Every structure is written in structure tokens, then in C-alpha cells.
Structure 1
Amino acid sequence: MNKRIAVILPACNEEVTIREVILAFHASIPEASIYVIDNNSKDRTGVLAAGALMEAGIPGRVISEPRQGKGNALRRAFQEVHADVYVLADADLTYPANRARDLMRPVLDGDADMVVGDRHSGGHYSEQNKRRLHGFGNDMVRNLINLFFKSNLRDVMSGYRVFSRTFVKNYAILVEGFQVETDMTLHALDKRFRIVEVPIEYVDRPAGSFSKLNTISDGARVLFTIAQILRYYRPFAFFGSIALIAMLLGLLAGVPVIHDWLTHRYIYHVPLAILAASLGTVSVGMLSIGLLLDGIAHQQQIRYELHLLSQTSEPGDG
């Protein structure tokens, strides 16, 4: 194939599992280089990872990223690692390394820009995942994304993914934490990159390995990220929704005012009249902003598509 393959393993305090994960991916993809992103670990994660790479003679290295957060770790990896195919996985033994080639195949065949390991279709994720509220949040986020982007994705938060070089080198990571999986999914949908989902088996963390996820705070960050993405990439839907809510509230506040005028030809509910007028002004303003930004977003989409075309054009093309 003559394809450069890079396995990216973001790791924070994963000394219990990091060595086994490295050896498992090396056994599955012996031709790949493996890069461990030591994300401010307080244990021996970096030392054990470097030792495993050296002892097994695996090409790659440990990259240190002191800024906490998976998004920061991936930003450093995508800046420093150059390959044709990128395999991303967590360093906690939850994803099967022996399925890496199945995920790589659509990218290698030119059929996908991003392949996602679908935990929901491929195994007993609901049984293995002990965080019920976390699972509920995943479902809610997935349904919101499918609604707004007219997609039919099964797993938008999987950490097991394969990317083409085109996707990686044209993806600006602007988030810092675990919401990065949602962000890259939304980016792929908005920029019309081809997404393929491959069912995989998910296994919960082994004993002694602890998750850094916080269901409430990380869930709030993911929802905030979706709101931000809608504001940037679907501004008409975002501001149009605010306009609709303001209009409905204005109409509700204006009912007593209209009743006063029709009955007495005089307005007794002056505060409600002011509130209704203000909400109406807000509604018109939000709708105008949404229309303006929607036009700007469309122009940005055109420039992005032309940028991608310029990267794929052959030398000498007219």
C-alpha cells in the first residue's frame, strides 16, 4: 500500500493499560507508527509508553502535552504527526485493537474521510457502560445532531476513529476536552466529509483503571459545543429558534394588551405592552442576524470547498 499509518493514543494517567494497548495495536498493525500523547499524566504513563515502544522496536514516540484535555492532546498530535492514515483510540483497553484494519479499510479504499467505531451496533455497550446518565446524554446529543444535520449516525462520541490525511490537515481543533469527538463529527457533517460507521465491540475499563469523564460537566460542555457549532455553522437555525421563542413569548405577553384595546379602547397592562413590544423587537433582530450570518456561512463553505479542491488538483491542471 505504501501508506504511512499513524496510531494516536492520547493518554492521561493510564499506566495500568498503556503498555498493553501499545502492544495490541502493534500486533494488529505492525507497519504503523505509534504516538502516545502524554497529556499531563501524574503517574508513569509516559515512561512506560516510551519503554514499550523501545523494547518492541515500534516506530513512533511519546509526545508531551502539558495542557490538560483530549482536544489539546489531539491538536498537538495532528500538528506533529504526518501520515496518510490516522488511527485514533483511547489508551484504556476499551476499544479492540484487532478491529483497526476494519476501520482503516474504507479510508484506504477511498470510500471515507472519517471512519467511526460504532459501539452501539457492534456489541453490548449498554451492558458494559456503567454510567447510565452518560449513556442518556450520548443518545440526546446524537439525536440533536441527526436532527439539525439531517444525518443518521449511531455513535457520535466514539473515541475509536480513523481519518484520512485530508481530514486531519483541514480540521481546526478549537475545543480542549472530551467534547472533541462531538466537534469532529459536527465538522465532518458540516464540511461534507464522508463518514462511515463500523460496528465494534466495546469493553469497560479493567480493574484499576479510572475514567476521567464527569457525566454532568462533560455533558454540559458537549451541549455547549453543539450550541456553538449551530451558532457558527447553522446560524439561521440557531438565531431563528431564538427569534421564534421571542415571538411566541411576545404574543403571549401581548394577549392581555390586545384584550384591553379591543374591550376598553385603552391599555391597562402597560408593562406587558412594553414587554411584548421588546420581545417583538428582539425576534426581528434575531431573525435578521440569522439571515445575515447564514449568508456569510454559505460563502465560507464555498471558500472551504475551493480550498479542498486546490489541495487535490494535479500539477499542470488548468
Structure 2
Amino acid sequence: MEDDAVRAASSPRSNGGDVVAVTEQTREISPDEVCVLIPTLEEAATIGDVIEGFYEQGYTNVVVIDGDSEDDTREIAREHGAEVLVQSGSGKGQAVREALEYVTVPYVLMVDGDGTYDPADADKMIEPLARGYDHVIGNRFADMDDDAMRALNGFGNRMINRAFGFVHGANYQDILSGYRAFTVDSFRRLSLDSDGFTIETELAVECVKHGIDTTVVPISYRARPDESETNLHPVKDGGTILLALYSLAKTNNPLFYFGSLGVSGIASGALIAMYVLWEWIQYTRSHEVLAVVSAAAIILGVQLLMFGVLSDMLVTLHREQRRRLERIAREERDE
């Protein structure tokens, strides 16, 4: 797996569908330049060990942003030397956006506080940023404990990753991973609206949409300690994530979003038309209202397809213009 990580970090990278050569950088990123950001909610059983783990790796700039836990999460975090913030709203997404307003260093290492991620992987996560990447995703499936994820959760995660690749055209292997490293500048380029746990999904989509240079590295993933309870519900939350993937395609892949709606409209209209025709041929029954509904569904479907094609053209032109402007800006900086 280490060889895979090296190949991923030294090979051409994904930039919104284009292949861009990675510029090697010799400078190393100091742990003092990295903020370890830990969103928490009722993590008293594990937060202390998580903070200590990063301290042992040399990462002492630890910020815990807590969703108003009713247990001792905040007190334990302070006792272990972390800076503790209490988020003004609710949900992981809102917590991350709010915490970034207080970060004064150029790099962020974001990790869950449930003890499932290994602080020893911190250097592995940060290293691609020194190579020129802007966003790093830790792939939990590369080295996962046998009991770290239930079979239903594992199936759901893989299905969501395949759906993401199909809808958004990028293979990030584990878009729901809570172990992320990114530059603060790249984060501020993203348009993030998610307040809840779908923040990881939105981050992945926004990286594709804005051409953020993203790579994936293998990490280890451990079972959640017995005394720590999960806040996720596999079926309900999985459905919410799939819905978010589809909804976010509206601005990232409008041809798929509006095209799927258009095809559904045409198909439903055609089925109704076939039923009306069959009734008229078999029993000489006329269904004027159903015939009107059928025609309306087909016309609406065709219009949505046309709108999807036009929207896709606009998105493509916008991306080309953005890349052109970014290239001009880089050339001016180099001069």
C-alpha cells in the first residue's frame, strides 16, 4: 500500500477531469504550519487519546470544535492542551466552516474524534500537500480492521463511491472518509453549504467542480472503541448522502442531473401514451386527460434534456475560462 501511496502522490493528478503534471516541491511542511481540526459531539471516551496521539507525532496545534456536547468532551480536550471552540450552530459541516475562520496556519488536517483514525498517518496525509496537491483524502479501505465497519456500512460506502464516480466523474476511492488534509486557500475556494455529516460528500464534489488538485493516500482504520457510540444511522444517512450526491450534480454535472429528469419525464409520458393507445385499440375507450398528461410529460422531458445540454456547455466553458485565468495568474507569479 505504501507503493500505491507514492505512485498516487507522484503521478499526474486529477484537476476536474483534466490531467495535470505535479510540480515537485522540495520544502517540507512543518507540523507548526498544520492545524489539526477535530469536530466533536459526545466524544469524551476517545478525544483525550486522539489529541495525545497527534501530540506524539509532533502536531501540537490542535483545535477541537464541539457541537455542544453534554458529556465531558470539552473539559477533557482542554486538559490535554487543545484549543476548544463551541460551534454557534449545529452539524459537522457548519462546525468545519466556522472553525476555519479561526485557523491562522496554511494547512489543515481534519480528523474525527472517535478514535478510529490513526494519528501516526498524519505525516502521510500531509506529505502530498508539500508536493503541490491542495486536498488529500485518506482511504480507509486500504487497511481496515475486520470489525471496523459493519457489512451494511461497507456495502453502502462502496455503493456511494461508485455513484460518486458515475455522477461526478472522479475516483476518490473513499469520499466519506473523515481523515482529510487540505490547504486553507483551497478550502476557501469551495462553495460549501452542508451543515451536517454530508460535508465529506460536498467536499469531494466541490473538489471536482472547482478543479482542486486532489489525491488519495492509504490509511489505517480501526474499530470504534466499545465505550464510544456512533451518531450515524446507515440506512437513513446513506439515503441522505445519495440524495446529496444527486442534488450536487445540478451545478457540477447538469447534463446528468437535468438529463435524468428529462429521460424520466419522457419515459413516464411514453408509458401513459402506450396505455391510452392500448385502451383505445382494445376497448375503444378514450382517455383525453391522460393523453394530455402524457404529451405534457414528454414535452417537459425534452425541454429538460435540452436545458441539460445547454447547461453542460455553459459549465464546460466556465471551467475552460477558469483554467485559462489560473494559468495566466501562475505565469504572472513566475515572472
Name the TM-score class by shorter chain: 0.7 to 0.9
CA-to-aligned-CA distance 1:59-85 (integer Å, 9 cap, x gap): x62121032211011001222213222
What is the distance in 2 between the residues matched to 1:117 and 1:12?
21
Residues 224-260 of structure 1: per-residue CA shift (max 9 Å, x gap): 2112211121112111111112112222222255568
List runs of 5+ in structure 1 lacking aligned partners. 54-59
Q: What is the RMSD computed on CA atoms of the aligned residues?
A: 2.5
- Paired with 1:182 and 1:149, the residues of 2 have a C-alpha distance of 11
Sort the Cα spacing of 1:158 and 1:2 in 2 relative to 1 into closer, same or farther, 3 A.
closer
Which whole-Å deviations, capped at 9, do the CAs of 1:208-227 have from their partners, x for residues lacking one? 11111122332222122112
Summarize the Cα distance change of 1:219–1:7 in structure 2 as closer, same or farther, 3 Å threshold: same
8 Å CA contact retained: 2:168, 2:249 = no
CA displacement at 1:29 relative to structure 2:
2.7
Give 1:307 shift.
6.8
Q: 1:295 deviation in Å?
A: 3.9
Cα distance in 1, alignment partners of residues 230 and 329 from structure 2:
39
Structure 1 residue aligned with 2:139, among 115, 118, 133? 118
In the other structure, the counterpart of 1:33 is 61
TM-aligned CA distance change 1:239 to 1:40, over 3 Å: same
- The letter of the residue matching 1:297 is V
Q: Distance in 2 between matches of 1:312 and 1:62?
A: 37
1:144 correspondence with 2:144 = no
2:80 to 52, 67, 70: 52
Q: Provide Cα deviations, 1:142-169, integer angstroms capped at 9, x if missing partner.
A: 1111112332332110001111233222
Bigger shift: residues 88-97 or 143-152: 143-152
Q: 2:231 corresponds to which letter in structure 1?
A: K
> 1:84 maps to what in 2?
106
2:319 aligned residue (298, 301, 306): 301
Question: Does the residue aligned with 1:196 lie in a helix, a strand or coil?
Answer: strand
Contact persistence 1:243–1:284 (CA under 8 A):
yes
User: What displacement does 1:90 show?
Assistant: 0.6
Change (3 A) 1:279 1:116: same
Q: Secondary structure at the match of 2:77?
A: helix
Change over 3 Å in CA distance of 1:224–1:47 after alignment to 2: same
Alignment partner, residue 7 of structure 1: 36
* Alpha-carbon distance, 1:190 to partner: 2.1
CA distance in 2, matches of 1:260, 1:203: 61
**Residues 41/66 of structure 1: CA separation in 2 closer, same or farther (3 Å cut):** farther
User: Which structure exhibits the higher relative contact order, with contacts defined as CA atoms closer than 8 Å and separated by 6 or more residues?
Assistant: 2
Distance 1:150 1:173, change over 3 A: closer
Q: Which of 286, 289, 294 is the equivalent residue of 1:268?
A: 286
Work out the CA distance in 1 between the residues paired with 2:177 and 2:325.
Answer: 28
Equivalent residue letter for 2:307: I
1:19 alignment counterpart:
48
Query: Is 2:191–2:206's contact at 8 Å kept on the other side of the alignment?
Result: no
TM-score (norm 1): 0.86
For residues 325 and 44 of structure 2, the distance between their equivalents in structure 1, rounded to whole angstroms, comes to 42
Which amino acid in structure 2 is aligned with residue 6 of structure 1?
Answer: C
- TM value normalised by structure 2: 0.82
SS of 2:141 mapped into structure 1? helix
Task: Assess, with a 3 A threshold, how the Cα gap between structure 1 residues 8 and 207 changes in structure 2: closer, same or farther.
Answer: same
Residue pairs, 1:53-202, within 5 angstroms = 53=81, 61-110=83-132, 112-124=133-145, 127-130=147-150, 132-202=151-221
Q: Distance in 1 between matches of 2:147 and 2:46?
A: 21
User: C-alpha distance in 1, partners of 2:184/2:311?
Assistant: 30
CA distance in 2, matches of 1:154, 1:2: 25
Quick one: percent identity of the two aligned structures? 26
Q: Does 1:281 align with 2:299?
A: yes
Paired positions, count: 305
Give the Cα–Cα distance (whole angstroms) in 2 for the partners of residues 267 and 244 of structure 1: 28
Identify unmatched segments of 5+ residues in structure 2: 1-27
Q: In the TM superposition, what whole-angstrom CA distance separates every residue of 1:159-211 from its partner, at most 9, and x where no partner exists?
A: 01111233222123200111111110111122222222111111111121111
Q: Judging changes above 3 Å, is the alpha-carbon distance between structure 1 residues 215 and 151 closer, same or farther for their aligned structure 2 residues?
A: same
Corresponding position of 1:57? none
